């Protein structure tokens, strides 16, 4: 009966398949025949502790996970394909939505790739680079805060969740002040930034640094020495250096295995070689080590943010090349966004050429010489690489993102197999995958 | 000016001419007209302009910096294994400060293993594979691009392998770099490149029963027209485009 569950039947409209389900009695009988307690459990894709729509397929024997696999793709949005149908500048609007917790990293990596193709890497104004670093480090703080907050919540530690989101909220307020949006900013553009810092921006960041310095030790007090926290985290999600290298794991996972590899030090971009900071490591290879690494990285990020503020010099935030630079300074219009009135007055009233130039650059975009480039940044999750290919046109020929979440998530099986079901949650939380980045 | 001194402006030998970028590289497409618009009249008078767009061509020694060292070590190590480097390395491209080895697909695994294990090379970390579909590159339409990072030496190189559309097979690197497991599944899913020797080459992003490989250039983006402030805005792949 089961073998004919979907047999074709010819009708005037073509073949019709009648699909019927299996026989439950038979399933139950065969399950009873197996003498072990081996069962296969689907965790997710809608479980709150799987960080979005991650589906974990666990084969468990009692409480022990004997085999673990990931099912991904539930959040695939075709961003890489879509980029091929937009101009190079419009691309930032898409990439910022990939790993939505590390928007500024996506934007910066993409822009560094495009700038490398254009050959203007050295022409990016200092102020733009400093603001990029400033935003990226704030972003590292906000991403790690979410990781620690949700990770704590999944252990049942709701206090740390409240603390984490409280502090992240302050950072999102800064984003809103600087870019106009709390998430999905599209603020970093090929050639520089969409606009300069708003008035009062620097003071607000300074104020935040002061508050954050007060708040950061609270995580130490709450969690670092907490015996329950340690009991849940220590020796869970173990992945040593060999495993990290083989599986391509980077970021806090690699640093928790003791290797101080950080692209900001080994392959600096945006002027990171001029900042004074340390790369924290742990030697425990487990979830607890990753937690400690993230905590220390937040302290280091605060240091870098302070240095950025001291480094900010007045100047342009876009390359001087008018064939690439977005042809306007933005200003707040009645609809909440828009071009500055001065600029509109100039192109509409005084210069026909400026109007043509503006129109062509905005509708057509700029051409990028044919070739390919790879740019990588150290995102809070690891190496975020972007492979951009141009065919000399106004649109990308191909953009591929090597998202650290995607690569690191592969290590889930190695971390979880042989452990307890409850430890799967901890291990996955310590990988800190964001499905927007995994699936793109 | 005396007749003995050669006038560089009149001397038309190759070294005095401006570098023709990518003169020998593969042609990716042909640009027609002045402004890249493919519909509407090009009234500039340059509408008949035809220009081929080429990718950067092979580089000649010296490549500069540590590139020569890596190339020497790789060639030496391949020779030690009884392989003629010219057979494995199709060409070497240096462009925008990046070193690319184009590898013949049958030698890919051996080259990758050498790059990983040779103490002078030590490219321990593979950042995965990125597929690119060049429909115009006849006979080698599908490219797989690998970026290898050496943490020991702080270097980054690129390997590029190609396969024709009618035989989209490239050997899998999972045995050398296990991290490529998902990356190769993704490239298979999106481009239809079959990675021979992959332990379980199945779709990873698209549903298992999906037809076609969406990132190929012959696969349409799709989409519907939407109304915005009274005007019909066509789907993204139907809008006016400039090349």
**A326-357 pLDDT per residue, tens:** 776 666 666 556 677 777 888 888 888 888 88
- Tell me whether residues B53 and A392 touch, CB distance under 8 A: yes
Residues forming a β-bridge with B226: B233
CA A106/CA A94 separation, integer angstroms: 9
pLDDT band at A1 (very low <50, low <70, confident <90, very high): very low
Q: State chain A's mean pLDDT as an integer.
A: 87
- Tell me whether residues A398 and B130 touch, CB distance under 8 A: yes
**A151-176 pLDDT per residue, tens:** 888 888 888 889 999 999 999 999 99
A409 contacts in chain B (CB < 8 Å): 182
Q: Which of B29, B130, B221 sits opposite A82 (nearest CB)?
A: B221
**B108-144 pLDDT per residue, tens:** 999 999 999 988 889 999 998 999 999 888 888 899 9
What mean pLDDT do residues A360-376 have? 89
- Chain B closest CA to A79's CA: distance in Å? 10
> What percentage of residues in chain B have a pLDDT greater than 70?
86
pLDDT score recorded for residue A338? 67
Q: Which of A53, A28, A29 is nearest to A42 (CA)?
A: A53
- Tell me whether residues A374 and B124 touch, CB distance under 8 A: no
Instruction: List the single best residue of A387, A388, A404, A439 to mutate versus B (max B Cβ within 10 A).
Output: A387
> What percentage of residues in chain A have a pLDDT greater than 70?
92
Residue A27 or B41, more confident: A27
Report the predicted TM-score, pTM, of the whole model to 2 decimal places: 0.87
**A372-388 pLDDT per residue, tens:** 999 999 999 999 999 99
What mean pLDDT do residues B56-65 have? 83
Three-class secondary structure assignment of A174-236: HHHHHHCCCCCCCCEECCEECCCCCCCHHHHHHHHHHHHHHHHHHHHHHHHCCHHHHHHHCCC
**B64-106 pLDDT per residue, tens:** 889 888 998 988 988 888 888 888 888 888 888 899 999 999 9
Q: Output the CA angle A416-A421-A422, nearest 5 degrees.
A: 105
> What percentage of residues in chain A have a pLDDT greater than 90?
47
**B180-230 pLDDT per residue, tens:** 999 999 999 999 999 999 998 999 999 888 889 999 999 988 889 999 888
- Tell me whether residues B242 and A372 touch, CB distance under 8 A: no
A267 contacts in chain B (CB < 8 Å): 154, 156
Q: Which of A246, A391, A394 sits opposite B242 (nearest CB)?
A: A394
pLDDT band at B2 (very low <50, low <70, confident <90, very high): very low
pLDDT band at A61 (very low <50, low <70, confident <90, very high): confident
Give the H or E element holding residue B87: helix B85-88
pLDDT score recorded for residue B5? 53
User: What are the phi and psi torsion angles at B190 (to 5°)?
Assistant: -90, -25
What mean pLDDT do residues A223-237 have? 88
- Chain A closest CA to B62's CA: distance in Å? 20
The answer to whether A148 touches A163, Cβ cutoff 8 Å, is: no
């Amino acid at each position: 009966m089961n073998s004919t569950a979907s047999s074709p039947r010819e009708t005037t409209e073509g073949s019709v398949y009648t699909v019927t389900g299996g026989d439950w009695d038979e399933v139950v009988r065969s399950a009873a025949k197996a003498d072990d307690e081996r069962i296969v459990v689907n965790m997710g894709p809608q479980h709150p502790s799987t960080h979005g729509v991650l589906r974990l397929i666990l084969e468990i024997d009692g409480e022990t996970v004997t085999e673990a696999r990931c099912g991904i793709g539930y959040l695939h949005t075709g961003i890489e394909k879509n980029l091929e149908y937009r101009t190079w500048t419009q691309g930032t609007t898409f990439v910022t939505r990939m790993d939505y917790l590390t928007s500024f990293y996506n934007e910066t990596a993409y822009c560094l790739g495009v700038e490398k193709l254009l050959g203007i890497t050295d022409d990016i104004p200092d102020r733009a680079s400093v603001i990029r670093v400033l935003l990226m480090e704030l972003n590292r703080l906000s991403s790690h805060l979410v990781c620690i907050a949700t990770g704590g919540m999944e252990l049942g530690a709701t206090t740390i969740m409240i603390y984490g989101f409280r502090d992240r909220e302050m950072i999102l307020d800064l984003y809103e002040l600087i870019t106009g949006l709390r998430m999905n900013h599209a603020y970093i553009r090929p050639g520089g930034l969409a606009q300069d810092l708003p008035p009062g921006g620097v003071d607000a960041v300074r104020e935040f640094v002061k508050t954050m310095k007060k708040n950061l030790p609270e995580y130490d007090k709450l969690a670092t020495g907490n015996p329950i926290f340690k009991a849940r985290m220590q020796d869970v999600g173990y992945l040593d250096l060999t495993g990290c290298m083989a599986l391509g794991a980077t970021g806090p996972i690699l640093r928790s295995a003791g290797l101080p590899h950080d692209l900001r030090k080994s392959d600096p971009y945006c002027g990171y070689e001029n900042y004074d900071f340390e790369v924290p490591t742990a030697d425990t290879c487990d979830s607890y080590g990753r937690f400690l690494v993230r905590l220390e990285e937040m302290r280091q990020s605060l240091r870098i943010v302070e240095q950025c503020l001291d480094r900010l010099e007045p100047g342009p935030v876009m390359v001087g090349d008018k064939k690439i630079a977005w042809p306007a300074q933005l200003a707040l219009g009645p609809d909440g966004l828009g071009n500055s009135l001065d600029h509109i007055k100039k192109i509409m009233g005084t210069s026909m050429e400026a109007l043509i130039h503006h129109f062509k650059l905005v509708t057509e975009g700029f051409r990028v010489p044919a070739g390919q480039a790879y740019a990588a940044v150290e995102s809070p999750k690891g190496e975020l690489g972007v492979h951009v290919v141009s065919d000399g046109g106004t649109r990308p020929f191909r953009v591929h993102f090597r998202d650290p979440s995607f690569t690191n998530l592969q290590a889930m099986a190695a971390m979880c197999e042989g452990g307890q079901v409850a430890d799967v949650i901890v291990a996955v939380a310590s990988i800190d995958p964001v499905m927007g980045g995994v699936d793109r | 000016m005396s007749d003995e001194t050669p006038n560089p402006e009149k001397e038309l030998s190759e070294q005095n001419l401006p570098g023709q970028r990518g003169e020998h590289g593969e042609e990716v497409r042909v640009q027609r007209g002045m402004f890249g618009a493919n519909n509407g009249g090009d009234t500039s008078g340059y509408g008949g302009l035809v220009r081929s767009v080429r990718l950067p061509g092979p580089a000649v020694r010296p490549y500069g910096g540590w590139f020569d060292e890596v190339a020497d070590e790789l060639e030496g190590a391949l020779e030690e294994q009884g392989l003629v480097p010219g057979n494995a390395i199709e060409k070497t491209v240096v462009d925008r400060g990046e070193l690319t080895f184009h590898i013949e697909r049958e030698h890919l695994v051996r080259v990758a293993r050498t790059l990983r294990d040779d103490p002078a090379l030590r490219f321990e970390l593979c950042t995965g594979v990125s597929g690119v579909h060049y429909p115009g590159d006849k006979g080698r339409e599908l490219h797989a691009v690998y970026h290898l990072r050496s943490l020991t030496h702080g270097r980054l190189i690129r390997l590029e392998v190609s396969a024709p559309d009618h035989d989209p097979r490239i050997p899998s690197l999972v045995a050398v770099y296990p991290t490529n497991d998902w990356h190769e599944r993704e490239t298979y899913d999106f481009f239809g490149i079959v990675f021979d020797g992959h332990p379980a080459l199945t779709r990873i992003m698209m549903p298992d029963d999906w037809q076609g490989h969406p990132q190929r250039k012959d696969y349409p983006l799709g989409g519907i027209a939407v109304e915005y402030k009274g005007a019909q805005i066509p789907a993204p792949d139907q809008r006016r485009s400039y090349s």
